[in-house]
């Protein structure tokens, strides 16, 4: 039976939560009195379907079922997770929680997307205070992993642990904060930068475009992989963080920033910011900006995956937990089932030929895992090396397409392991490319060919015999 999440409030954040749950296989119910809620969430979901699967090397679970309910009571009844994303008004949120708790399972997690209120404030009029926690995400919720999980002494430890497990299983990073403070951690940091940026515009020092360039061309790139303190640790050189503080600490007393003050948001300042923002990016629609943002985030996070850092490490962990294609007892092996990411395309707008080598190499790794010649076998000093491939490109493959690689063992004798891979479009079965790959078993101590371990060879021979009974191959 599918797990059920209830989303109360279907704006940008609520829609992002709905997409994150849906694309991880949960059924999602939404309550929002806005007559445009279905359209708005549909557009967020379209972007999420394009973006989130590109982070991974295997297909996400089958999408859950989305439904819109006319009442809050129907929405939350029986739901395992309830996410409140209504406007930032404390009285409204408390009223929503009272209604939710009248109709929800007492064991359900009730998370609030609030960016400012403390959990103890939200729990003020609650029937069961222990059930309500802050789960503050970042936009787009379906891509950015951070969720500030803020709790109070009233919260049940078991419920908090379940909340952490659920968020982690969704590919999110729950940062558990046990000390309450207005605006939590991340928004307080953002507020500091925002205040200084407002002064720079107010005083005519910089435009909105110049401020954004200063961030995205400079320290923003460092922050994406190292955050603040690790970045400054490196800035201290071999002497480390203490040297950095000794060198730059005195600057804290200099009147560089205006963090304790903020310019009056007059109509004139608001209009100046709006005009500069229009000049900067008004030629793009909001949906175009969202798609641009998502594609950039995908490319950056996939780059971090290669090094296993920050968000990349989290994606690698979640990727390893996603289900692999099921074995086909009476057909070829399904060695890849994934979505083509945007960073695999070239200037012609289709998949770069080098990436075909990548996906067929990944398919070969899946074969080796299947026969027991995976990481443990390699650690013991044995492996298979590719010595020859023959690729044919039969049709264009584009970013966002879900593809499947079907693999047959066409030769499995002695040191030789030969695979025939076919990449097909999942939607219609179109054959997109083929690869004839010959691998030779080697000993890693000598880096020369040698016989495989008998149990490995037996599995290769059994697969080869089974695949010989399939319909004949066609190369066209």
Domain containing residue 448: CATH number: 3.10.129.10
My answer on whether 180 and 191 are in the same domain is no
The domain boundary, picked from 184, 199, 228, lies at: 184
105 with 163, same domain: the answer is yes
Let me know whether 174 and 197 are in one domain: no
Q: Tell me the whole-structure pTM to 2 decimals.
A: 0.87
Assess if residue 458 is contained within a domain: yes
Together in a domain, 90 and 158: yes
Domain-embedded: residue 302: no
Domain stop point among 184, 214, 240: 184
Tell me, yes or no, whether 62 and 79 share the same domain: yes
Q: Based on the fold, state whether residues 108 and 219 are members of the same structural domain.
A: no
Distance CA 354, CA 377 (A): 27
- Cα(6)–Cα(31) distance, integer angstroms: 8
Q: Would residue 376 count as lying in a domain?
A: yes
Q: Among 250, 267, 283, give the residue marking a domain's end.
A: 283
Question: 228 and 278: one domain?
Answer: yes
Residue 10 known to bind ligand: yes
Q: What is the total count of domains within the chain?
A: 3
Regarding whether 196 and 180 lie in a shared domain, the answer is no
- Half-sphere CA count of 103, side-chain side, radius 13 A: 14
Question: Are residues 140 and 23 both part of a single domain?
Answer: yes
Output the CA angle 457-458-463, nearest 5 degrees.
100
**Does residue 103 fall inside a structural domain?**
yes
My answer on whether 455 and 331 are in the same domain is yes
pLDDT at residue 475, rounded to an integer: 63
Binding site annotation covers 11?
yes
The CATH number of residue 253's host domain is 1.10.1040.10
Rounded CA separation 304/292 (Å): 19
- Residue numbers of the chain with a pLDDT score lower than 70: 327-328, 475-476
Residue 445 falls inside a structural domain: yes
Contact 229, 241 (CB under 8 A): yes
**58 marked as part of a ligand binding site:** no
Neighbours of 48 (CB within 10 A): 23
The secondary structure of residue 116, as a DSSP letter, is: S
Same domain? For 168 and 205 the reply is: no
Q: pLDDT tens, 38-55?
A: 999 999 999 999 999 999
The answer on whether 13 is annotated among ligand-binding residues is yes
Let me know if residue 370 belongs to a domain.
yes
Q: Is residue 310, in this structure, part of any structural domain at all?
A: no
Residue 8: closest CA among 156, 158, 122: 122
- Is 70 domain-assigned? yes
State the CATH number of the domain containing residue 50.
3.40.50.720
Q: What are phi and psi of 247, to 5 degrees?
A: -80, -45
Distances (CA, A) of 413 to 230, 369, 452, 465, 469: 52, 18, 10, 11, 17
22, 27, 66, 138, 427 from 63: Cα distances, Å: 5, 8, 9, 22, 15
Domain limits at 245? 187-283
381 shares a domain with 270: no
């Amino acid at each position: 039976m599918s797990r059920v999440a209830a989303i109360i409030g279907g704006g940008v954040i609520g829609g992002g939560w709905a997409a994150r749950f849906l694309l991880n296989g949960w059924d999602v119910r939404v309550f929002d009195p806005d007559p445009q809620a279905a359209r708005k969430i549909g557009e967020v979901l379209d972007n999420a379907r394009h973006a989130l699967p590109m982070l991974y090397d295997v297909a996400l679970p089958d999408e859950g079922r989305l439904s819109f309910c006319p009442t809050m009571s129907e929405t939350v009844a029986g739901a395992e997770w309830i996410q409140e994303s209504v406007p930032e008004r404390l009285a409204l949120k408390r009223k929503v929680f009272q209604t939710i708790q009248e109709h929800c399972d007492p064991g359900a997690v009730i998370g609030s997307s609030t960016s400012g209120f403390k959990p103890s404030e939200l729990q003020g009029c609650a029937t069961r205070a222990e059930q309500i926690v802050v789960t503050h995400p970042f936009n787009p919720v379906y891509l950015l992993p951070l969720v500030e999980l803020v709790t109070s002494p009233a919260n049940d430890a078991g419920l908090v642990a379940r909340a952490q497990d659920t968020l982690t299983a969704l590919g999110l990073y729950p940062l558990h904060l046990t000390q309450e403070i207005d605006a939590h951690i991340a928004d307080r940091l953002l507020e500091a930068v925002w205040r200084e940026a407002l002064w720079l515009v107010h005083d005519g020092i910089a435009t909105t475009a110049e401020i954004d360039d200063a961030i995205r061309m400079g320290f923003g790139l460092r922050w994406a992989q190292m955050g603040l303190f690790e970045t400054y640790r490196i800035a201290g050189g071999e002497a480390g963080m203490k040297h950095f503080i000794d060198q730059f600490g005195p600057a804290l007393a200099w009147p560089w920033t205006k963090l304790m003050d903020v310019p009056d948001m007059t109509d004139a300042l608001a209009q100046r910011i709006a005009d500069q923002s229009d000049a900067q990016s008004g030629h793009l629609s909001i949906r175009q900006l969202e798609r641009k943002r998502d594609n950039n985030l995908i490319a950056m996070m996939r780059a971090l995956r290669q090094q296993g850092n920050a968000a990349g490490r989290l994606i690698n962990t979640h990727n390893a937990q996603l289900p692999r294609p099921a074995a086909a007892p009476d057909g070829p092996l399904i060695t890849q089932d994934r979505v083509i990411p945007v960073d695999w395309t070239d200037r012609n707008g289709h998949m770069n030929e080098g990436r075909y080598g990548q996906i067929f190499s990944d398919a070969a790794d899946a074969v080796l895992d299947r026969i027991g010649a995976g990481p443990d076998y390699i650690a013991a000093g044995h492996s298979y090396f590719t010595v020859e491939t023959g690729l044919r490109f039969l049709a264009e493959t584009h970013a966002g397409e879900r593809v499947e690689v079907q693999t047959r063992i066409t030769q499995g004798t002695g040191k030789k392991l030969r695979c025939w891979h076919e990449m097909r479009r999942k939607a219609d079965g179109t054959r997109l490319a083929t690869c004839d790959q010959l691998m030779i078993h080697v000993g890693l101590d000598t880096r020369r060919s040698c016989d495989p371990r008998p149990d490995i060879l037996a599995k290769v021979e059994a697969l080869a015999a089974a695949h010989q009974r399939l319909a004949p191959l066609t190369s066209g």
